[in-house]
Chain A
Amino acid sequence: DAKTTQPPSMDCAEGRAANLPCNHSTISGNEYVYWYRQIHSQGPQYIIHGLKNNETNEMASLIITEDRKSSTLILPHATLRDTAVYYCIVRAPRDPLQGAQKLVFGQGTRLTINP
């Protein structure tokens, strides 16, 4: 699975859009980009994932560049409850009978939403 690079920390004002970048320049054609977040010591929470098209759900939007070498997670109206560590993970789908479906977490981006 391709390696990802994220800034260690970011700040955003409450009510503003939070844009979290992720670089995955070695991504392969069949690898998906996944975003998770971890609020304090809670379990990682799945946010969104995509292959090459932009994706949007009730939590966030995912913008993937045309060359797929980077992506941006957008929280449109950040609230204090969005303060968390955000992880960008790249992974290819595999046959579960072959195992190795694990997620590899890096250090992520610590996002702080300021009032």
Chain B
Amino acid sequence: DSGVTQTPKHLITATGQRVTLRCSPRSGDLSVYWYQQSLDQGLQFLIQYYNGEERAKGNILERFSAQQFPDLHSELNLSSLELGDSALYFCASSVDSGNQPQHFGDGTRLSIL
């Protein structure tokens, strides 16, 4: 158990819809990262938040957004969903002090029908 909690584990929805994925980081971790893993792309970094503020963006689509709340949990919002958005979405957290590693949750599997 990494200590990072992601909900829901599975999500099935239709094209054009909007969903919210939730992540609770490990106790004490200030940074939250979101990654996407699709079959043909591997693990790709989407976005990082540190103590409530956005710190880095990767290959995140404009239809996607995220935020980190005062209690440090984070949500990833995906809108106008397309078939190609079907993927595993992972959240990771870290202390971000020096060389400390990131720890990943078990992910949310998003299926777009």
Contacts and interface: CB of A to CB of B under 8 A. Distances in A.
Interface string A28-58: 0000101000000111111001010000000
**Chain A interface secondary structure, helix, strand, loop or mixed?**
loop
Contact of B33 (A51, A93, A101, A107): A101
Interface string A72-107: 000000000000000000000100111111111111
A30 to B, nearest CB: 9
Interface residues of B, number: 31
Given A43-B104, A46-B101, A96-B50, A101 B31 contact: yes
Contacts, number: 72
Contacts of A98: 55
20 contacts: A32-B99, A41-B88, A41-B109, A44-B43, A44-B90, A44-B104, A46-B2, A46-B102, A46-B103, A51-B99, A100-B55, A100-B56, A101-B56, A101-B94, A101-B102, A102-B33, A102-B45, A103-B102, A106-B42, A107-B42
